[in-house]
Structures are given as C-alpha cells and as structure tokens.
A and B are shown apart, each in its own frame.
Chain A
C-alpha cells in the first residue's frame, strides 16, 4: 500500500511529506537549515546531540522534539527557530563548546547557534584536542549499518561514556574497511596505514562509501539483497514467465509460492550477516541455513549448515519440477558437498526428466528410478550415485551433451527432439532463465564464450520487457557492450552485484539506453580502478581492456573446437516452443506473434503448421542477430575474430594471428 501523505507547516511554509518519514528530511527538503552534530543522512538517527530540536504543535499541544528521529504521522505545525528552541540550542552549543573547544565542527555548529564562548561549561572533561571524539556515534552506526558488524560501540555511563572495541581490546574482526574513519566528523579516527598501497585511497573510499550508504538506505526498498539475497527474484521471474519449469518448457508455476524468498526467509535463512564470500562487503547478499537436518545420503540425520540457496539453486530445482523447499536446501547441500555445479545438475537432470517422460529412456535405463518431473527423491538419489560413481548417476554426471550423443547414437526416440530439448551450448548447461521470448538473451547465452552462463549478458528485461533494443543493430550493440562490461568485473576480481542489484535513487534521470548501464555505478568502478592504479578509466578504455581478453578467449575457444558459428547456436527449446504442449500453454502469445509479425492467420492453420512457421521464423531471426553481433564485434560471419580486430586491440601476436581470420 502506498504511504499516506501528510500536510505539515514548517515556519509558515506548507509541505507535504510521506507518513513515517523523519521530520528532519521534511525540514531540510524545504530548504531550511538545521544545526546537527550526530545526524548523518545515510545512518539511522538517534537524537543524541539534540541540536536539531524543533517545536511542534499537534492539536493545540506544543512540545520540543528532535527532528532527526521524529516520524511524521499526523498534521502538525513546526517551528525550527522558536524562542524556546533557540534557547535550548544555545545552551547545548555552549556545553559542546565547553567540552570540545577546539574541534572545528563543534566550533562551526556553535557559531550557527550564536555561540562563540563555551567557557561557562569548561570542566575536567574539557578536551583541547582539535581531533577529539565528540561521541556522535557515526562510527558505531557506520560499522553496524554499512558493514553489518559491531566492532565499535560506546561503553560507560554519563561522563564516563567513551568509544571502544569489545573489552577495550583491538577486535580481530575489524577488516579495516575504514567506514568509521570516513564518517568521523572530527578526525578522531584516522587511517594510519594503507596495507596494499593504493595510489589514491581517498578516491576509493569516497566511492566505496557511496556504495555502503546505498546498501544501508536503498537496498531494503529495492532488491532486498541483504534480507534474502539473490532469491529475491524467484517470485519476480515467475511473474515475468522467466522462471524455468520442467526443462524450460514453462516460465511460471502455481506452486512457486512454496519456494519463494518469503518462505526462504521465514523458514530457512538463519545467517543474515557477512560470510566468507567477501568479508566486509556491505551488500552481504550471501545467505545460509543453519541446523538443517539432512534426510538422505551419507550424512542423513545430521544437522548441517547450508550455504544458500541462491536464485539459481531454486531455479535449478523448479526446472526439475521440484517445489519442495526442504528438497531445495538438501539439493543445495549435497551439490556443494560433492563439488557438483548446482546449475549443471539441475538443468541436466531436467533434460533427463523430459526424456524419461517422453519415453526416450525408461526405468530399465535409470536403474528403476522414476525420473518424472518433480521426483525429488530420485533427484537426490542421482546425486548420491554421481558421488559414489555408481548407477545411472554416472551417466547423468557426464552432462547433457554426452547424454544427447549417446541416446541419438543408440537410436532412442526422435533425434531432433533430443537435440531440441537438451539445453546446453558448447557443452555447458544453460543457467536458470527462460530465454524463449528474448532474442537478445538467446544470443547472450549462446554466444557467451564459456557457454550459456548469464554472467556474460542478461538482456531479458531490456529486450522483451522494455522493448529497448528492437533492431538487430540495437541487440548487437547490447551484445557488444554488456559482455565486455561484465567480463571486466571478472578481470579485476570485482563483484558485479553492486553494479546493478542496487540502483542510485536518481538513476531514472537518465534516458533508457544510459540508465540501463547505471552510469553512476559504472563510474564507481572506474574510480576504484583509478584509486588503485592511478590510471584514469573511461568506457572506451574499459571496453578495450575487456575486448583484448574476450577476443583471446574466443580464439582459445576456436582452438578447442567451441568457437565457431555452429557452436553459438542454441537448442530450439531456448528459442521457442518445441512441443505441442508448450505451444498450447502460451497459445495466445504465439498465435498473436504469427499474426502481427508474420501476417499469418493462425485460425486457418493446424497446430503443426503454426509450430513450424514460428520455428522457421525464430530460427531465422537468431541467425540474423548472430550476423549483427559478429559484425559489431569485428568477427567474421563464422564468428572468428579477424586479424584487423586483433591489430586494433593491440593483441596481434603471431600465435593469435595464426588462429584469426583474414
């Protein structure tokens, strides 16, 4: 429900605010200055310094409140400079100046309160240090809210109150993120040594703190990465018909509610703090489940900690038709324990399930296992077999490409069907997004150097939802920029999640093509690079850095036999509906496309004719997008980097030229 709007009057100025927003935001938003010492716009306020006192009147009753932490819940009149307020502020300012007479920020705020002499409050507590700690608490809150640690806190009561670490000892959990130093208004906390000697640490710090502040303030109303991690998009993908179900046949399921982020949070996630993914990360999206009792396998009956589940883990399970959250956690655990990639396992087993249901294989092949979609117990047994090197699990563990080739060689079922539904490219199983309605994503997956891993490009929303890249050239441009940008993260050991799983509040000011890149966040990364190396980076240089490696990777793929046009073509299940069941499940959409795009009359066509026409069209479209993408990348029609491109990139080494095309 949208928050209620409330009309208030501040110094005779009418202002409309959202219910429960803090009064200080309304005052500052109205352009009215307020003196503060303990308020920081990105940290939770707690009314410590009292300087932001305002006088309010609600239904005839007047009182003083601290604006920083007073939530507006009803109409009121506010005075920021009433006689009563000014009198209190003056005394407070004198007290602060008396205790910390030489701290510049205290002198400044006192001056704003009309005070230049605090001697009336000088005492044994007076600290002449211009960098004295003024007990504002910024560092305590930054440690907790930016980094989700509690290294710093106050100890002692009254005049004995002081800042400290637990038991007054240096806390080994402090990772030196320097958030505390960054927010300290007096310099009481200073960075004394930069261990890895960045050229300009303050540049890194300034932009890093912006990221920290966004995580503390925006994430909770955006993707909730801190709360539920990547699992936040389970229910989103289901709504957009992108959640893989039954080997990518469908994009949604009525039982998704059983495995969405709400269920995971309420019943499973116990660890909601930074873990070993990247200690000190302010996003802290990694989640874990403690004390889960295993139901199967060699550790049956033991309570374990499970690292996850992530979105892809849930998607891998829905892809197998499995909507049991306990199963998802157990599948996650055993994949991790056995060193099996959860995506390859889920997508691979989903393929096996479809072939089982289609009669390509039977229980005679599976060792008696019923491998229908949703057979959670059988899936776990397959995992255990893979780890033991026994039974049908050994074959499933070889992957989709091996299984396809085996079953086609043995003449099992329809070879075309097997090829169409085996969701792998270059031998790697697809990750967990339905790409059927996004031509750009089909190419983003299938043209990826390593195989269909969405890490190279995730263009689904830009393409099928925003309709932002309608032409082949638009798609080619996106297929040029985003794989190179995303390759750049890997090259520099940086996580991409703070690029686009949180967005600056004002990202919407950019036109769509720019907004999609999230310019302010891209600039953060460029500044991290510049801060470390001293070298300025811009889009052109960044693309060149990545393109050198990306083209090298492509040539290595050529060398290994995976880098030609034929290797970039996906199975038809990634492009369109393979079976009659699939077509009929989205008949309105597909019939509509036959009509609007191809000018055909679906009413006058049989189902087989409609499927054939749609397939011919979509496969032709895919070939065209490959042509456009290759041209943009400086590759031949066969997908090979040209010698000219290597020279342009400055990587025209003899060994690479030998692999490149003329």
Chain B
C-alpha cells in the first residue's frame, strides 16, 4: 500500500509508477511537487519512476484560486 499525503491509501502493484498514482488520485494540477520519501521526482520522470511498496509519497499542491 502507498500512503499519499498521509491521507490516501493507494493499492500497490508491481510496476506502479508515480504517474499511475497521480492518475488514480486524479491529481491533474500543474503546480505540484512529488516526493517519495525525501526524494523529489521531476515531472519528466513521473512515467518511469516506480513507487516502492509501503512508501510515503507526498504530492504537494501549490495554492490556487483568485
């Protein structure tokens, strides 16, 4: 299981990528910072970075609105 923002649990599977997690949670906002543990993942690596089982992932959204 992947824990995202200490809020959502996403079932893990072999080959699960960062992009898969974002798609599942419908995180489509452009101004986000994704981290697995302490490591920031750059957008060009979302599709080819696999997520380890049991990890804590942070998807930080910048404020919008106005």
28 A/B residue pairs, CB under 8 Å, sorted by A:
A2-B48, A3-B44, A5-B44, A221-B30, A222-B31, A232-B30, A236-B28, A239-B27, A240-B26, A458-B63, A458-B64, A460-B65, A461-B29, A461-B62, A461-B64, A465-B59, A466-B58, A466-B61, A467-B6, A482-B63, A496-B66, A497-B66, A503-B62, A508-B40, A512-B58, A512-B60, A516-B63, A518-B62
A458 to B64, CA, bound (A): 7
Q: Contact: B5 with A461, CB < 8 Å?
A: no
Residues 460-505 (chain A) with a chain B CB within 8 angstroms: 460-462, 465-468, 482, 486, 496-497, 500-501, 503
Given contacts A2-B45, A221-B30, A465-B27, list 14 more A-B pairs with CB under 8 A: A1-B47, A2-B19, A2-B47, A222-B30, A454-B66, A460-B65, A465-B7, A466-B58, A500-B62, A500-B63, A500-B64, A501-B66, A507-B33, A516-B62
Interface assignment of A233: CB less than 8 Å from any CB of chain B: yes
- Determine whether A92 belongs to the interface, using a CB cutoff of 8 Å to chain B: no
Residues in B with CB closer than 8 Å to A459 are 63
The docked-state distance in angstroms from the alpha carbon of A501 to that of B30 is 10
Considering residues B30, B46, B47, which has the most beta carbons from chain A within 10 angstroms of its beta carbon? B30
| Number of residue pairs spanning A and B whose beta carbons lie under 8 angstroms apart | 88
Which of chain B's residues has its CB closest to A508's CB?
B33
Instruction: Say how far A211's CB is from chain B's closest CB, in angstroms.
Output: 16
Interface residues of B, count at CB 8 A: 27
Given A2-B44, A467-B6, CB of A223 within 8 Å of CB of B66 = no
A433 contacts chain B at the CB level, 8 A cutoff: yes
Q: Are B31 and A223 in contact (CB under 8 A)?
A: yes
Q: With a CB–CB cut-off of 8 A, which chain B residues contact A512?
A: 58, 60
Contacts A467-B5, A508-B33, A508-B40; is A461 near B26 (CB within 8 Å)? no
Please determine whether A461 and B61 come into contact, CB atoms closer than 8 angstroms.
yes
* Secondary structure type dominating chain B contacts: loop
Inter-subunit contact A2/B62 (CB<8 Å) = no
Contact A462–B30 (Cβ < 8 Å):
no
- In the complex, A135 has a CB within 8 A of chain B: no
Q: Say how far B59's CB is from chain A's closest CB, in angstroms.
A: 8
Residues of chain A with a CB closer than 8 A to B19's CB: 2
| Complexed CA–CA distance, A496 and B63 (Å) | 12
Once bound together, how far apart are the Cα atoms of A461 and B33, in whole Å?
13
Give the complex CA separation of A301 and B49 in angstroms.
55
State how many residues of chain A have any CB contact under 8 Å with chain B: 40
Flag whether A515 is at the interface (Cβ < 8 A): yes
Per-residue A-contact encoding for B24-53, CB less than 8 Å = 1, 0 else:
001111110100000010011111100000
Residues of A within 8 A of B47 (CB): 1-2
Chain A residues in 8 Å Cβ range of B40: 508
Q: Which of A3, A223, A461 contacts B63 (CB 8 A)?
A: A461
Q: Are B7 and A467 in contact (CB under 8 A)?
A: yes
In contact, A515 and B33 (Cβ under 8 angstroms): yes
Q: In chain A, residues 200-228, which have Cβ atoms closer than 8 Å to a Cβ of chain B?
A: 221-224
Q: Which residues of chain A are within 8 angstroms of B30 by Cβ–Cβ distance? A: 221-224, 232
CA–CA, A1 to B23, complex, Å?
Answer: 13
Asked if A462 and B63 make an inter-chain contact with CB atoms under 8 angstroms apart, the answer reads yes
Neighbouring A residues of B28 by C-beta, 8 Å: 235-236, 239-240
In the complex, chain A residues 14-28 whose Cβ is within 8 Å of any chain B Cβ = 18
Cβ of A175 to closest chain B Cβ, rounded Å:
24
Interface residues of B (CB under 8 A from A): 5-7, 19, 26-31, 33, 40, 43-48, 58-66
B31 with A503: CB separation less than 8 A: yes
Q: Which residues of B contact A108 (CB under 8 A)?
A: none
A395 neighbours in B (Cβ, 8 Å): none
9 closest A-B pairs by CB: A458-B65, A461-B61, A508-B33, A2-B47, A239-B26, A467-B7, A467-B5, A239-B28, A222-B30
CA distance A18 to B61 in the complex (A): 25
Q: Is the CB of B60 within 8 A of A466?
A: yes
Q: A455 within 8 Å of B by Cβ?
A: yes
A3 contacts across to B, CB distance below 8 A: 44
Provide the bound-state CA to CA distance between A400 and B47, in Å: 47
Chain B min CB distance to A96 (Å): 37
Nearest residue (CB) in A for B61 is A461
Q: Which listed residue (B44, B58, B66) contacts A458, Cβ 8 A?
A: B66
B60 contacts across to A, CB distance below 8 A: 466, 468, 508, 512, 515
* In the complex, chain A residues whose CB is within 8 Å of the CB of B31: 222-223, 500, 503
* Alpha-carbon gap, A482 to B58, bound state (A): 22
Query: Shortest Cβ distance from B10 into chain A, in angstroms?
Result: 14
Q: Which residues of A230-248 are within 8 A (CB) of B?
A: 232-233, 235-236, 239-240
A18, A458, A462, A465 — most chain B CB neighbours (10 Å): A465
Which of A224, A433, A503 has its CB near the most chain B CB atoms (within 10 A)?
A503
A503 to B43, CA, bound (A): 14
- Residues of A near B64 (CB, < 8 A) are 223, 233, 236, 458, 461, 500-501
